[in-house]
Amino acid sequence: MVYDLVLLHPPTVYDFRKEMLFTGPISDVVPSSPVFEMYPIGLTSIGDYLERFGLKVKIINIANRMLLNPNFDVEKKIRKIKAKAFGIDLHWLPHAHGSIELAKIIKKYHPDTPVMFGGLSSTYFHKELIEYPCIDYVVRGDTTEK
């Protein structure tokens, strides 16, 4: 199936399964919680809105799949997706590394497919994000469905 939009929720650090990670300033500021494994509710409202107008939307929680299955192959999954556009949420700042790395993987396998970023942190850091060659658009603000 070809989707009009595939929305992806990234892990905080893309290569967390390979690298030994030490807690740092983020863990002091933001309490560790399953909230970062769950995608923002905005993804569901965007999907619902677009589907009401006949678009095919899929949400994939890459972070959760990586956590639940140590053998989950992100690149293989991304390579197989057929989409007219990809959206990545960068709502919480701790996902900055994971979201940008996910965008790089998308561009590796789908170089001509637009990659959009959205969310609270994307809105705040839109000027910096749009400088990345793997990011084509930054959707700013809240309730951006329209």
Q: Per-residue confidence of the chain (146 residues) as pLDDT tens digits?
A: 999 999 999 988 777 656 655 444 444 444 444 445 677 788 899 999 999 999 999 999 998 898 888 899 999 999 999 999 999 999 888 788 899 999 999 999 999 999 999 999 999 999 999 999 999 999 998 877 77
Please give the model's pTM, rounded to 2 decimal places. 0.86
pLDDT of residue 58: 97
pLDDT of residue 18: 65
Q: Which amino acid makes up residue 136?
A: D
| Radius of gyration, alpha carbons of the chain | 15
Rounded CA separation 94/42 (Å): 17
**Structural domains present in the chain:** 2-139 (3.40.50.720)
pLDDT of residue 102: 97
Residue 118 phi, psi dihedral angles, 5° rounding = -155, 165
pLDDT of residue 68: 84
